[in-house]
Amino acid sequence: MRQAVFILVLFAFSFWTCRKPTADSSSTSEDYSTAEGNFSTIWDNISQEYTNVEQGVFKSSKTQKNNSCATVTGIKSDDSSYFRFVTIDYGNTNCVGLDGRKRRGKIIIDANGLFDSVGLVLNISFVDFYQDDYLIEGTETITRLAAQKLNINISNGRITTPVGEAIRWESDRTYEQIATTVNTVCDEIWKVTGSDSGINRKGRKFIIEITEPLIKESCCRWIGEGVVVVTPEFIEPRTIDFGDGDCDAVATVKIKKTTFTIGLP
């Protein structure tokens, strides 16, 4: 009798422990998309503002305001050959950029050369920087590998939600420009490959594999195309499909045989 009771208790415990990790089925997907959506637009803004500086929109060591509502300060290098420091200041209250996102705080850029030069390294830091009321922290390093190819590395990334929950983010990606015009940065289209990892707001670790390159238009706030596989710790992988190229806030998630949609931030 005791043996039967022991077996029954052991079975119940095993069933419970096997089922417990399968909770939290969508929060990792949502937290990944939050990190993706917030960090992927940083490059777009830096590209726009830094290009304006180098094209002479702003004079050396002076501050002016552009049409995205940011105040941009450029300080040239000692030999005046390039802008060594650029500060993008969105102010203390939200302002709306060309991509529709609300921003406040500062992005600080430390450069080692001209923006379009191969070998350029931009070291990015954030000071009280919020995007759609999410606090963005961490260190971002952008290296120009070729004329239209970048490496973007994010270390110690952290996103704090408006209700105080934290998402951790590490990323090492290659951006390749596949389309552009000479008229506006909004016509730039980038193909993105690489790997990411993070910790969701519930403390669960996850890793990201980009199985089909992500396609990102510079002035669209969302990924328009591509597929990633998100593998949370202890639970089933899930596939996230960003669609066929439309600029919209919808992605499709598949976990085993279950498919549902999520909204992108």
At 219 the pLDDT is 77
How many Cα neighbours within 13 Å face the side chain of 11? 6
At 66 the pLDDT is 52
pTM score, whole prediction: 0.83
At 170 the pLDDT is 97
At 206 the pLDDT is 96
At 139 the pLDDT is 96
Domain range list for the chain: 26-263
Residues of the chain with pLDDT under 70: 1-26, 56-68, 181-186
**Rounded to whole angstroms, what are the CA distances from 53 to 27, 80, 171, 209?**
40, 13, 27, 36
At 128 the pLDDT is 98
pLDDT tens per residue, range 28-60: 888 998 998 899 888 888 887 887 777 765 544
Vertex 259, ends 261 and 225: CA angle to 5°? Answer: 55
At 8 the pLDDT is 39
